[in-house]
Structure formats: structure tokens, C-alpha cells
Homo-oligomer: A and B are copies of this chain.
Amino acid sequence: MKANRIIQGTLLLGACALAACGAGAAEGKTGKELPTRPGVGDIVKASKPSDWRALDPDNTLYMAMPWGRVVIELAPTFAPNHVKNIKALVRNHYFDGLAIVRVQDNWVVQWGDPNDENERARKVEGAQKTLKAEFTVPLASDKHFTRMRDVDGYAPQVGHSNGFPVGRDPRTGETWLAHCYGTVAVARDNDADSGGGTGLYAVLGPARHLDRNLTVVGRVISGMPELAALPRGPMPMGFYDKPGMQVPIKSVQVAADLPEAERSNIEVMRTETAAYQSVLDAQRNRGGPFSKYNPAHLDLCAAPIPVRNRP
């Protein structure tokens, strides 16, 4: 099967460079072929070293799974107390030997203590079991916002902040991390303040209505394909019913606690750069030869955030 006998992947479609897009570009035209434009791959190739940042080892978690490492970037700007608490849990080995307990199709992968509610529950030591919710933070807390002009149903403004998809409401003066694919957030009971980070989930499907309803702490930077391919649980809401189904977590560590040689060499494109704005435009204004209709729009959660290994 030839590579072009397919429908093409998000990161491989034609696109336009920043200068060629925007108000002057043809919107939603069909019929004749769209002009070919640089794609995300071209923009990444043309990027400068300063368009990228390394992950901060003190705010990066490594979750050791049977198939390898899941890398999570934490977002202390948006959930300072929960991030601090999760790092304390990690450093007290709270997660080591726990498990993925739930996979609900098109919804979430969740991990924590399968014995959470019985007498074999793991003790929370050196950290809090629950914390006051951090659903939003003041706009002034966030210094890195770049706005997407695309319309959004869930937030008055959307865009990116330091590598995370975010929503904003200038009227209430709040900003928050959005629930997109790979977003990591804090499971809780009905009480807003009943979570603390002992149970976490990563988003698989459309979940933007959880924005401002759950405390988001970060994002899976590497390892989503394996998490997303785990068997869905047979119980209501995708819980695994037998301990044998639960996927063991060997350990969770803060990257800073590992020798440098054992850390992942991941870099994320800086979302406040012109290069990243070009990436967004490449996805927003599609060029030929594959695309026949230019949507002239990009949903927040459809916007890719390029990640690479340090060259």
C-alpha cells in the first residue's frame, strides 16, 4: 500500500506559512485545487533552536509502565498546590506499584490505588489526600498566553500558554487548562475539594465540558498511543473488574531525581513563538494537493503541539 493511498495524518497535511495565511487567504473555497503550502513538517524543519524548550526536570514526571516510559509535563502555573502535592506523593513512592484502574472508551484513562476505598488502601504520607480545587487561576498568573482567533464554544478566548491548551474569560478574570487529548487532571468525588492527586486521569476523547470542573495538572508529552490502546474496562465507566486486568505502574518519578543520563531528551515547541503560530496556521488553512476544501478554522484541541527529541 503506497504511502499516499490513505487519508493523511494531522501532522502531514499541506498548510500555509504565517505570511500567506489570515484574512487574505481564500476561505472555504471548493472546486479547483488549493495551492500547496508548507506543512507542519516543513515548519518544524525550518525552526530555530530558540523555538524549542526542554522540559523542566523539576516539573516532569516519568511513569514507568510495562511497555516503557510515559512522560508528563506538570503545569504549576495553573495548579500550584496540586502540582506540589503530586510531586510529594511521587517522592514518597505513593504511585509505585499502583495501577491503571479504568479505561473508558473515547473518554479517559485513569490511574491510582485499586484499593482506594478498602482497608488495603495505600497510606498517603508526606502529602495531602485532598486539597482545595484549583479549577482556574487569575489571568495575571499566566505570562505566556498566545491567543487563537478561532471561535470556541466552551470559552470566550482560547489559545496556548507555555505548551498547554488554555481557555480564558476576561470578564471573570480567570484562565484554565483545557481538557484536550492527553490532558492530565485530578479525579475527585462530587465535592469540588475531594481530589488531591492520588487518582489522576488522561483525556482520550471530547471532554471540554470538564474545563473549570476538574483540576488540571499537566499533559502527557510522550506515551499517549500506548495509554490510548489499553483495553477498555468491562465495568460501568470503564473500570477494570479483575486485578489481573489492571495495568501495573512500576514507579512514578520526578525527572529531576534521576541522573541526567537517564532523563528523556524531549523538547516542546515554544507556543509563544512565530514558528508555533505558523504551525497553527498550517493546520487552520489547508493547502493542496490532498485537501480540497480549506476549513479556515482550527479547534483548540485539534491544534498539535510539536514535540521532538533534542537534536
Contacts and interface: CB of A to CB of B under 8 A. Distances in A.
Interface string A131-170: 0010100000000000000111110000000000000000
A238 interface: yes
A110 B190 contact: no
A116 B230 CA distance: 29
B7 A185 contact: yes
B135 A293 contact: yes
A273 interface: no
B110 A291 contact: no
A78 to B, nearest CB: 16
A263 interface: no
A16 to B, nearest CB: 13
Given A105-B224, A187-B6, A181 B210 contact: no
Interface of A: 1-10, 12-13, 30, 101-108, 110, 112-117, 133, 135, 150-154, 181, 185, 187-190, 192, 199, 201, 205-214, 224-226, 228-232, 236-239, 283, 286, 288-293, 295, 297-299, 301-302
B7 A214 contact: yes
B237 A187 contact: no
Given A106-B225, A208-B299, 16 more contacts: A1-B112, A5-B187, A6-B199, A7-B187, A7-B210, A9-B237, A10-B106, A10-B107, A10-B207, A12-B237, A133-B292, A153-B297, A209-B286, A229-B230, A229-B231, A229-B232
30 contacts: A1-B101, A1-B239, A2-B117, A3-B236, A4-B190, A5-B116, A5-B189, A6-B102, A6-B110, A7-B108, A7-B110, A9-B104, A9-B107, A10-B205, A30-B135, A30-B212, A103-B229, A105-B224, A106-B181, A152-B153, A153-B298, A153-B299, A154-B299, A181-B206, A192-B292, A206-B302, A207-B302, A211-B293, A212-B295, A213-B291
A39 to B, nearest CB: 13
Contacts of A150: 153
Nearest to A153: B297
Contact of A297 (B9, B116, B154, B190): B154
Smallest CB-CB A-B distances: 7 pairs: A206-B302, A105-B225, A153-B297, A212-B293, A190-B289, A225-B232, A209-B295
A258 to B, nearest CB: 26
Contacts of A104: 9
A24 to B, nearest CB: 19
Given A229-B231, A237-B8, A290 B190 contact: yes
A177 to B, nearest CB: 14
Contacts of A290: 190, 213
A208 B290 CA distance: 15
Contacts of A7: 108, 110, 185, 187-188, 201, 210, 214
Contacts of A105: 224-225, 228-229
Contact of A3 (B1, B152, B237): B237
